[in-house]
Amino acid sequence: MERRHAAGVLWPDGSDERAAGNLRSALWRLRGADIDLMVVDKGSLRLRDDVAVDVELVGDWAARIISGRLRPDELSMMPSLVEALELLPGWYDDWVLLERERIRQRLLHGLEALSRELVAAGRFAEAVEAAMVAVAVEPLRESAQRALVAAHLAEGNRVEGRRCFDAYREILRRDLGAEPAPELTALVDPRPVMQRGRDPWPSTSAEVVVG
């Protein structure tokens, strides 16, 4: 990347001269701390080829599991995954917002795929945890809620599955005035929709009897 462009992106407020000075100072401090991350010349700068970037690692991990190319030894959540879901917190530049949402969507899809793979491997506790991370990030995301309910049911925890469904249904009704999709409802009540009627579950879960 051109040094002038990098300085303008990182320090958009103020003059070009001030931004260039900030960049020189940052690079000088890195060298002084013996942190050898950058390849720099008078006109450009880039990361060294051997530098690992956490966001790239988790993004690549998510891409592999979404496409079904994940190795068995990678079938777990990476330690830096949750942090990567909120890229550069406190930054609100346009380029950050777009990149943050791109990474967020990829990782949410990756977590849902991970939960399904863990269910298939019989690792139900980990499957539930992966789905719960996705739900915590976006409670209204139906695909994440579906992965969570499915993981509970696969483990044989029908009450937990019903509880998650009821909680999601209440959030959906309150925030959007909508009902869960038939695909999600069918997980906890496999009867045909016409048999269930308009309101298949009572408004509170206290009197629900799981058959």
> Which of 40-54, 114-128, 131-145, 180-194 is least confident?
180-194
pLDDT band at 48 (very low <50, low <70, confident <90, very high): very high
Q: Is the pLDDT of residue 210 over 90?
A: no
Query: What value does the mean pLDDT take over residues 106-126?
Result: 95
Please give the domain boundaries of the chain with CATH numbers for all domains. Answer: 3-47 (no CATH), 54-196 (1.25.40.10)
Q: What percent of the chain has pLDDT over 70?
A: 89
pLDDT at 176 exceeding the cut of 70:
yes
Q: What is the mean pLDDT of the chain?
A: 87
Q: Quickly state the pLDDT bin for 189 (edges 50, 70, 90).
A: confident
Q: Give me the mean pLDDT over the 163-187 stretch.
A: 95
Please give the average per-residue pLDDT across 193-200, as a whole number.
46
Q: What pLDDT is stored for residue 209 in this prediction? A: 38
Q: Are 169 and 178 in contact (CB under 8 A)?
A: no
The pLDDT of residue 79 = 66
By CB atoms closer than 10 A (0-12, 13-18, 19+), residue 66 is: middle
Q: What is the DSSP string of 117-179?
A: HHHHTT-HHHHHHHHHHHHHH-TT-HHHHHHHHHHHHHTT-HHHHHHHHHHHHHHHHHHHS--
- If residue 13 lies in a helix (H) or strand (E), which one and from where to where? none
Q: Judge if pTM exceeds 0.85.
A: no
Backbone angles phi, psi at 164, to 5 degrees: -65, -40
- Average pLDDT score over residue span 120-130: 95
Higher-scoring residue by pLDDT: 54, 172: 172
165: exposed, middle or buried (Cβ count in 10 Å: 0-12, 13-18, 19+):
buried
Average pLDDT of the segment spanning 116-120: 95
- Considering only residues 205 and 132, tell me which one the structure prediction assigns the higher pLDDT: 132
Q: Does 12 or 81 have the greater pLDDT score?
A: 12
